[in-house]
Structure 1
Amino acid sequence: MSLLSKANRKTSLSRFINRDENLKRTIDTKDLIMMGVGAVIGAGIFITPGTVAATVAGPGVMISFVLATIVCTLCAMCYAEFSSAIPITGSAYTFGNIVFGEITGWIIGWGLILEYMLSVAAVSASWSSYFQSFLRGIGITIPKAISANYNPGKGTYVDLIAVVIVLFISWILMRGVKTSAKLNDIMVIVKIAIILIFIVVGFFFIKPGNWQPFLPFGVHGVFQGASLVFFAYLGFDVIASSAGEVKNPKKTMPRGIVGTLFICTILYILVSVVLTGIVPYKDLNVSDPVAYAIHYINLDKLGILISIGALAGMFTMMVNMVFSSSRLIYSIGRDGLFPKKLSKIDHKTNVPKRSIVFVTIIIAFMGGFVSLDKLVSLVNIGTLVAFTFMSIGIIPLRKRKDIKNNDGFKVPWYPVLPVISAALCIYLLTQLSLETWLTAIVWFVIGLIIYFGYGIKHSLSNNKT
């Protein structure tokens, strides 16, 4: 068999399902929706609506969220069908492997590694900043040397809090899926409760005059805003990473994905309405627009509660992203493209502890020592590449003869909606900067070197007849 034939070989669904037999199915619909909301509603809801309103969309940012929701809904429906038809761990990596071939699955997986790990590392640094601000509010100051990433010129060497929070999350996840799910549920409830308090209290301070003009930047600004707020939804795809641990996945996975998107959309739009109603949109270009709005109406004590909500939001996002990245590494190791040791399951907790340790070391190092300001935009490419493949992948999925009787969710108006979804994702990819694309190309070249240097030789699919 030629090298190209090996790289494009498709593995049967039955073999992938057998590879996940050591995972225990313990996650139900409630856990899945909580996981999704925990991943999606992070720092973004406390920042994105305000900055986008101030810079490109004005009060029309609420329409931007509606437009972004349409794109995400199309992608979500494609993910829901894949998760229903192929209920196995690995998300878009495994789905791409089955319907397109191993090399395409690897490219998708390599992009997702970039998304998951960079996003957690960046948020861990933000969590540290918020937490240090909270500590200063009660009279506690962290020594400067351990307060930020490595920058001797400014007297900082390691962001110790960022490292510690990642290690703590890793410890939680190693105790088992149910343990981490319970803590995640509590934190998500706290986060949603605080957001709802802001919405209800803020409603009484809305001044309709602040919504005039509604489209100060024109219709173009609303569409540009949609391309920006789209990334506030990143994270709903992590639900698909847990398919191998979900009860009754044909029903649970679609419900979890669609339910997550519905809840998050309502919260984003309501926050946008209240935020732009309280404060003139021009004043919202700050790092903490929600907290700024609370201080604007002289409710300073409520601002402390908002800070707690932001911390809870970022915490649950990190928990779910670390969970998903460890399952992705597990899946790649399971298939032989990474060392098989990374796919070993601990029999006491039924979790892949080695893959958790692997991602923890990388994330903790990046969050504690590396400045990620210029790298965070790479998260977008990894995600949109996966979304594009998953959208168009519905077409070959339905043609696979070994994937029969999918009596779960199916994308309506096939094949029109999957094609539209892929086209919209490609459009958003074209909006990313040249610098981001050049850096991403380097990342994917490194990935191809690893695949052809190690992965293809050890691939479980290519070493079985």
Structure 2
Amino acid sequence: MDLLRKKDVKALCDTETHLLKCLTAFDLTLLGIGAIIGAGIFVLTGIVAATQTGPAIVFSYVMAGLACAFSALSYAELAASIGGCGSAYGYAYAGFGEVIAWIVGWDLLLEYSIAVSAVSVGWSSYFNDLLLAIKVNIPLFLLHGPLDVNPGYLNILALLIVVTLSLLLIMGVKSSSRVNNLMVLIKLSVIFLFIVIACLEVKPTYWTPFAPYGWQGIMEGASLIFFAYVGFDAVSTAAEEAIDPQRSLPIGIIFSLFICTVLYIVVSGLLTGIIPYPELNVASPISHALLKLGYKMAAGLVGVGAIAGLTTVMLVLFYGLSRVFFAMARDGLLPRFFAVTNENTKTPVRIIVLCGMIMATISAFVPIGDLAELVNIGTLFAFMVVCTGVIILHYREPDLPRPFKTPLMPYIPILGILSCAYLIVHLPWLTLLRFVIWMAMGMVIYFSFSIKNSVLCKES
């Protein structure tokens, strides 16, 4: 029983794909922006500024962006040199071996599925607000699941958006990419509109005191804000559908993270400069600020931008989920029944349907609550594995062609590992317990099914 049997790196690079290669560097950059910019900029910025940092939130975004960049550079190197639609799962298979790859893959399935389900519930709230604005009322029992604090029958809007995204992904990656690009352009337009208005209304006196909660508040804010950046890793799941993955994947990963970091810093700085930061502890701080300044139409457009932002987050993470599942099924760690693509659309339809049904059910009936924090620990764990893997492969495979190289090796990946470990340690203990339980369930499946049906097992 070889738990650490590894995929040959060269074989992994040459994996034959049945997916459609159609994504450019521009598409991948917008894919990353689509995954990153969502509730973070429209919700988290105000809460953190009001309760943790004050105007010094700009430094929190800088610190969190740097911490995330350490992992992003490692992702970029592995994506360019190895590829594969399994993202961190595939990198772990080549760097650590099968059992670690299974743990990472199982972790990513949890991360992406819970994230899509959680965001769909938030999306339903925003969309319902939009419907109310045009005098369309949905009964409350169709907006809450039976386990919510205010119980109903089901969250019909959350269910419908997951079903809609499932159908879109089934249609093919070209269609999904076009919709994502359109939605990203909408939310970027809304963000730029806010920037223009805020530049006209900014009052420098609101930036004093600049750091009312001190350096500790800035660092605590950075810990919270870090999760406004997660999602760029989903870009690496598109390796087998990228036209020139060695070039376009590093561009997509790094450019999307850089663009989002700049936007986060500018928006947060301006937001604390147009109204006093204690007033930002609201669910929609940007809309709240614009309404206080008398820009009612702009505030409404921000709501549309938030809906577009949450839609792209769900779309990209659902896409990443299906590609990780596909890679694991193709390797035999999950039933190979799912490792089939539609001849016309070149998409893993069976996987999309199964995952869509599961997430639609969760979204409609289960309150997400603290379970959403499992997304955080799942992301951090995957980042740590990738940072460790890039170090291992750097010394074990020195002759591997690397179109993109992580600078200052091994210090950048080590900083990535340490920053992720720091954030994991500061997560609630209940989140850690739930993560351990999920991983224990995964190990039961691995030893009862995956280890015997693995393609590498059968080849050996």
- Normalised-by-shorter TM-score class: over 0.9
Does the CA-based 8 Å contact 1:107-1:447 persist in structure 2? yes
Indicate the residue corresponding to 2:407 in structure 1.
412
Indicate the residue corresponding to 1:246 in structure 2.
242
Q: TM-score, normalised by structure 1?
A: 0.97
Indicate the residue corresponding to 2:90 in structure 1.
94
Give me the whole-angstrom Cα distance separating, in 1, the residues matched to 2:49 and 2:35. 23
Q: Which runs of 5+ in 1 are unaligned?
A: none
Q: Which of residues 305, 308, 311 in structure 1 aligns to 2:304?
A: 308
Give me the whole-angstrom Cα distance separating, in 2, the residues matched to 1:182 and 1:141. 31
Does the CA-based 8 Å contact 1:151-1:157 persist in structure 2? no
Shift of 1:238: 0.3
Change beyond 3 A, Cα 1:38–1:272: same
Q: In the alignment, is residue 75 of structure 1 matched against residue 71 of structure 2? A: yes
Shift of 1:461: 1.1
Q: Which of residues 431, 434, 441 in structure 1 aligns to 2:426?
A: 431
Taking the TM superposition and a 5 Å limit, the aligned residue runs for 1:119-130 are: 119-130=115-126
Shift of 1:365: 0.9
Change beyond 3 A, Cα 1:60–1:88: same
Q: Which of residues 97, 112, 117 in structure 2 aligns to 1:116?
A: 112
SS at match of 2:342: coil
Shift of 1:400: 3.6
Give me the whole-angstrom Cα distance separating, in 2, the residues matched to 1:160 and 1:16. 42
Q: What's the RMSD between the two structures over aligned residues?
A: 1.3
Shift of 1:213: 0.6
Taking the TM superposition and a 5 Å limit, the aligned residue runs for 1:235-314 are: 235-314=231-310
SS at match of 2:455: coil
Give me the whole-angstrom Cα distance separating, in 2, the residues matched to 1:203 and 1:85. 43
Q: Across the two proteins, how many residue pairs are aligned to each other?
A: 460
Give me the whole-angstrom Cα distance separating, in 1, the residues matched to 2:54 and 2:84. 42
Q: Which of residues 417, 432, 449 in structure 1 aligns to 2:444?
A: 449
Letter of the 1:459 counterpart = S
Shift of 1:299: 1.1
Indicate the residue corresponding to 1:188 in structure 2.
184
Does the CA-based 8 Å contact 2:145-2:151 persist in structure 1? no
Give me the whole-angstrom Cα distance separating, in 2, the residues matched to 1:352 and 1:174. 8
Give me the whole-angstrom Cα distance separating, in 2, the residues matched to 1:154 and 1:434. 27
Q: In the alignment, is residue 229 of structure 1 matched against residue 225 of structure 2? A: yes
SS at match of 1:371: coil
Indicate the residue corresponding to 1:341 in structure 2.
337
Shift of 1:21: 2.3
Does the CA-based 8 Å contact 1:20-1:89 persist in structure 2? no
Shift of 1:405: 4.2
Indicate the residue corresponding to 1:461 in structure 2.
456
Shift of 1:116: 0.6
Q: Which of residues 20, 27, 34 in structure 2 aligns to 1:24?
A: 20
Indicate the residue corresponding to 2:387 in structure 1.
391
Indicate the residue corresponding to 2:54 in structure 1.
58
Letter of the 1:226 counterpart = A
Q: In the alignment, is residue 197 of structure 1 matched against residue 193 of structure 2? A: yes
Give me the whole-angstrom Cα distance separating, in 2, the residues matched to 1:18 and 1:262. 30
Give me the whole-angstrom Cα distance separating, in 1, the residues matched to 2:294 and 2:63. 33
Does the CA-based 8 Å contact 1:111-1:381 persist in structure 2? no
Q: Which of residues 348, 351, 354 in structure 2 aligns to 1:352?
A: 348
Letter of the 1:440 counterpart = F
Q: In the alignment, is residue 147 of structure 1 matched against residue 178 of structure 2? A: no
Does the CA-based 8 Å contact 2:13-2:81 persist in structure 1? no
Give me the whole-angstrom Cα distance separating, in 1, the residues matched to 2:41 and 2:151. 32
Shift of 1:19: 4.5
Give me the whole-angstrom Cα distance separating, in 1, the residues matched to 2:171 and 2:441. 33
Q: Percent identity?
A: 39
Give me the whole-angstrom Cα distance separating, in 1, the residues matched to 2:149 and 2:124. 20
Shift of 1:300: 1.4
Change beyond 3 A, Cα 1:405–1:11: closer
Change beyond 3 A, Cα 1:153–1:210: closer
SS at match of 1:462: helix
Letter of the 1:293 counterpart = A
Indicate the residue corresponding to 2:435 in structure 1.
440
Give me the whole-angstrom Cα distance separating, in 2, the residues matched to 1:21 and 1:155. 46
Shift of 1:104: 0.7
Q: Which runs of 5+ in 2 are unaligned?
A: none
Shift of 1:150: 2.0
Deviations 1:115-168 (A, max 9, x none): 111111011011111111111111110022211222488451111111111111
Give me the whole-angstrom Cα distance separating, in 1, the residues matched to 2:35 and 2:246. 21
Q: TM-score, normalised by structure 2?
A: 0.98
SS at match of 1:7: coil
Letter of the 1:108 counterpart = V
Deviations 1:57-114 (A, max 9, x none): 1110010000011111111000000001102110001110111001111111111111
Letter of the 2:19 counterpart = L
Letter of the 2:392 counterpart = P
Deviating above 6 A after TM superposition, structure 1's stretches of 4 or more consecutive aligned residues are: none
